[in-house]
Structure 1
């Protein structure tokens, strides 16, 4: 998983990307973003 820090005018967000593999269909790979507000500016 890779973390991407994004800062806007109000908050700092951490986007954690997770690769989800569909076992029944290996070609169906979903990229899921989990968003956490980690700090207020």
Structure 2
């Protein structure tokens, strides 16, 4: 079993943070195309 490095944990937290922002802004704009352009 491999331990996650601090960098991996930090990037995973940031990824979760950005995804939640994307979801929130997508809900506000109600625009699915906006989300698709980011992925």
Q: Which TM-score band applies after superposition, normalised by the shorter structure?
A: under 0.3
TM-score after normalising by structure 2: 0.27
Larger fraction in strand: 1
Q: Which has the higher helix share?
A: 2
Q: TM-score, normalised by structure 1?
A: 0.27
